[in-house]
């Protein structure tokens, strides 16, 4: 029987591919033989990741993007099809919390700025919907492909201080289920849509909430660890296996799921 987890030659598009989680996943997938398209805003960072992958014998290319701009994403898709001929997997990893949308400990809900709330909703939710719409087209033509969205613990349980981020991620879990149903009914079982819900990993978008400038944990960081049965933050590489599983034929009958990778955080009640 063939290796169900084999992803050799898969063309994988990763939005937020220059981020901490996206770049780690990109490197791993390239090591497994996938052709990796890194979509990001920062050309220099993206090119450095590509160089690193290519130096290690992998195939990768950088495309400058803004996931909230449909025209740019459509151009990215055209360029990728010209370069690689197909798209097998879309990882919607662009996103994260934003400082302006965070309520500080001495503030309350009345201090929330509606325009900042809107921005974080747009980045996470609309910034997932637009690439999905664009990259789904070649997948439907091929009759095969899958999308993996990035949800969060905040989707299961709203967390203090980040109500916009939490609402957006709850929206992503809901959108994942909606799209799984929509694609299966309209385009058949070759198209699958799933999500991953990482626990807590220190990255650019949450560093200031979870760590102090000297690297020690803030009270919030300590609370996260106390509520994580494994007693620690996650390491970015711990997401790679779940991503590979969801995008591969090992998950051929899996659609609409939100795979939790959290050291047990979501099981914890008291």
Ligand X SMILES: NC(=O)c1ccc[n+]([C@@H]2O[C@H](COP(=O)([O-])OP(=O)(O)OC[C@H]3O[C@@H](n4cnc5c(N)ncnc54)[C@H](O)[C@@H]3O)[C@@H](O)[C@H]2O)c1
Residues in contact with ligand X by the rule CB under 6 A = 15-16, 18-22, 40-41, 65-68, 93-96, 123, 127, 150, 152, 198, 200-201, 203-206
Given strand 258-261, what is the order of strands in its sheet?
Answer: 59-64, 35-40, 11-15, 89-92, 145-150, 191-198, 258-261
Q: Which is nearer to ligand X, 67 or 247 (CB)?
A: 67
Least gap, CB of 154 to ligand X (angstroms) = 7
Q: Which is nearer to ligand X, 154 or 251 (CB)?
A: 154
Q: 3-state class of 63 per DSSP? A: strand
Residue 107 to residues 75, 119, 210: CA-CA distances in angstroms?
A: 42, 19, 18
CB 262 within 8 A of CB 17: no
Question: What CA–CA distance (Å, rounded) separates 31 from 240?
Answer: 11
Question: What CA–CA distance (Å, rounded) separates 220 from 208?
Answer: 10
**Residue tagged 């149903």 (tokens):** 181
Nearest to 152 by CA among 132, 166, 137, 134: 166
Q: Which is nearer to ligand X, 20 or 134 (CB)?
A: 20
Nearest to 245 by CA among 16, 29, 57: 29
Least gap, CB of 200 to ligand X (angstroms) = 5
Q: Which is nearer to ligand X, 191 or 224 (CB)?
A: 224
Q: Is 165 part of the annotated catalytic residue set? A: yes
Least gap, CB of 16 to ligand X (angstroms) = 3
Least gap, CB of 104 to ligand X (angstroms) = 20
Least gap, CB of 175 to ligand X (angstroms) = 13
Catalytic residue, candidates 10, 28, 63, 165:
165
- Hey, how many other C-beta atoms are within 10 angstroms of the C-beta on 106? 6
Nearest to 62 by CA among 88, 33, 83, 31: 83
Q: Which is nearer to ligand X, 144 or 220 (CB)?
A: 220
Q: Which residues belong to the active site? A: 165
């Amino acid at each position: 029987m063939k290796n169900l987890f084999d992803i050799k030659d898969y063309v994988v598009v990763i939005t937020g591919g220059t981020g901490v989680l996206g770049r780690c996943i990109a490197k791993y997938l390239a090591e497994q033989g996938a052709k990796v398209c890194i979509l990001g805003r920062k050309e220099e960072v993206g090119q450095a990741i590509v160089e690193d992958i290519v130096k290690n014998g992998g195939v990768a290319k950088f495309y400058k993007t803004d996931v909230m701009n449909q025209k740019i994403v459509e151009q990215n898709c055209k360029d990728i099809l010209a370069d690689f001929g197909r798209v097998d997997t879309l990882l919607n990893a662009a996103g994260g919390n934003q400082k302006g949308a965070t309520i500080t400990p001495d503030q309350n809900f009345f201090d929330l700025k509606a325009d900042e709330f809107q921005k974080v909703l747009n980045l996470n939710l609309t910034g997932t919907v637009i690439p999905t719409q664009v990259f789904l087209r070649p997948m439907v033509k091929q009759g095969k492909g899958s999308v993996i969205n990035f949800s969060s613990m905040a989707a299961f349980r709203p967390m203090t201080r980040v109500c916009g981020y939490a609402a957006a991620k709850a929206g992503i879990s809901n959108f994942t289920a909606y799209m799984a149903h929509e694609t299966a009914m309209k385009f058949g079982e070759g198209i699958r849509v799933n999500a991953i819900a990482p626990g807590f990993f220190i990255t650019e978008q949450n560093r200031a909430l979870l760590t102090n400038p000297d690297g020690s944990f803030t009270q919030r960081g300590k609370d996260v660890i106390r509520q994580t049965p494994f007693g620690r933050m996650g390491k970015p590489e711990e997401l790679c296996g779940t991503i590979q599983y969801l995008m591969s034929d090992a998950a051929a009958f899996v659609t609409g799921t939100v795979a939790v990778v959290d050291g047990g955080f979501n099981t914890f009640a008291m």
